[in-house]
Structure 1
Amino acid sequence: MSPHKAPDSSRRSDRSRRAIYDAALALVGEAGYARTTIEGIAARAGVGKQTIYRWWPSKAAVLMEAFIDVGTRAAEEAGDRGGYAIPDTGDLAADLKLVLRATVDELNDPVTEAPMRALAAEGVIDPVLGAQFVEKLLDPQMQLYVTRLRSAQEAGEVRGDIDPRIALELLIAPLTHRWLLRTLPLTHEYADAVVDLTLRGLAAGPAE
């Protein structure tokens, strides 16, 4: 008779966390953030609400971690394909259009749109959550733009006196503004136009 093996608590916890992540994202997408509750997440995930409160202080914290997990897994998958960083083909406009088009697709995706809107709105009310949203979700993505723009400066495509951190906001802010206000459609064509207009201001002159 083989010896009895104790259950692997770490694997059980990981499965529970994953179920909670999936439940939180699904409920926010289906019912909206305001109607999503810890009790609802627990029921959907098949765990006790005490389990959730043991790991997170609020539903906002659950959603934040769930969304970070989505990004982490996407980065790992893209890293395996060698494609998570902004490409550097030598054509800055083409590289930025590729990335901004992917950003448009993400912002328009119902799976990610509802959690992103919820976290952005809650971050305005809760400064701690807002700081975490910037630190854990936004800053790592912004650094990719900084790296690519610095490479363009070294190649002479972008003026040397440009601050890449400010320049990237010229690319990201218009998309975010249109997405938040829902005033006009967020399209690939709009992303391309943002890149073209931005690069006119960033381009190195003949003397450079």
Structure 2
Amino acid sequence: MAAQKSVQPAPDTTRRSERSRRAIYAAALELVGEVGYPKTTIEGIAARAGVGKQTIYRWWSSKADVLMEAFLDLAERTARTAGQEPHTVPDTGDLAADLKAVLRATVDELLAARFEVPSRALAAEGVVNEQAGRAFVAKLLEPSLQLYVDRLRAAQDAGHVRPGVDPRIALELFVSPLAQRWLQRTGPISHAYTDTLVDYALHGIGTCPPAPPERGTVGA
């Protein structure tokens, strides 16, 4: 009786592709943090990831695309690790609490080395490289800012924000100071700092104006 030839299972190309993709993400983020955006190359990413550069070009058209996708993936995984739902601003009905929760999570990300190093490199490159800057804004910044816009509009609908307020401008009251302080290292960032930004943005810093005089009492 002839011996039966054992049948080997077919390789799982999906699992292999996912491993390669993860390796490429990690390599791209490590390199941009170590040598900066200009010196990061597709060849360098491929070598560190242990894949052929044709593998990278099969999925992405440029190193900018690789880095942006890797960064988005990092942000999503960081949020999930912190117990946050990525790509959302919560709506519990308490606007101040919701904004504070998201900004606290943002502080945690900005202070984490694995997030801070590549994000600083990408942000710095975006200042001097118009194409990289546009990609950074379009793929990373604007989608995040739109989440704040949507939450503030929901607050307007609920009567918690004045009808005439422009949400796109309003969000800059708490987002922009945090970004500036982090980028320029003008001071420490913390949960207490972003909580204060939200309080100042929602409640203002001036005293309440005096009530207008009742009709008939002017000049009395």
Check if 1:137 corresponds to 2:164.
no
Alignment pair present for 1:18 and 2:25: no
CA distance in 2, matches of 1:44, 1:162: 49
Give aligned-pair identity as a percent: 64
Cα deviations by residue, 1:16-53 (Å, 9 ceiling, x for unpaired): 22111112223344555566554443332112345445
TM-score normalised by L of structure 1:
0.80
Show structure 1 runs of 5+ residues with no match: none
The corresponding residue for 1:89 is 92
Matched, 1:182 2:185: yes
* Offset, 1:180: 0.5
Q: Which is further off, 179-188 or 119-128?
A: 119-128
- Report the Cα distance in structure 2 between the residues aligned to 1:123 and 1:109, rounded to whole angstroms: 21
1:43 maps to 47
Higher relative contact order (CA 8 A, sep 6+): 1
Q: Structure 2 regions of 5+ residues with no counterpart?
A: 209-220
TM-score w.r.t. the length of structure 2 is: 0.76
In 2: Cα distance, 1:83 partner to 1:153 partner? 23
The answer on whether the counterparts of 1:60 and 1:119 sit within 8 Å (CA) in structure 2 is: no
CA distance in 2, matches of 1:3, 1:183: 64
Q: Does 1:62 align with 2:66?
A: yes
Which residue identity is paired with 1:176?
A
- Supply the distance in 1 between the matched residues of 2:150 and 2:59 (Cα, whole angstroms): 35
* Count of residue pairs the alignment pairs up: 200
Provide, for residues 127-160 of structure 1, a one-character-per-residue CA deviation record: whole Å limited to 9, x for no partner: 2322221222112211211121112112222111
Residues 104-119 of structure 1 correspond to what in structure 2 (within 5 A)? 104-119=107-122
Aligned to 2:75, what secondary structure does the other structure show? helix
- Residue of structure 2 equivalent to 1:148: 151
Please tell me whether the aligned partners of residues 107 and 190 of structure 2 are also in contact (alpha carbons under 8 angstroms).
Answer: yes
Amino acid at match of 1:45: A
Structure with the higher fraction of residues in helix conformation: 1
Structure number with greater Rg is 2
Task: Answer yes or no: is 1:172 the counterpart of 2:175.
Answer: yes
Q: CA RMSD in A?
A: 2.8
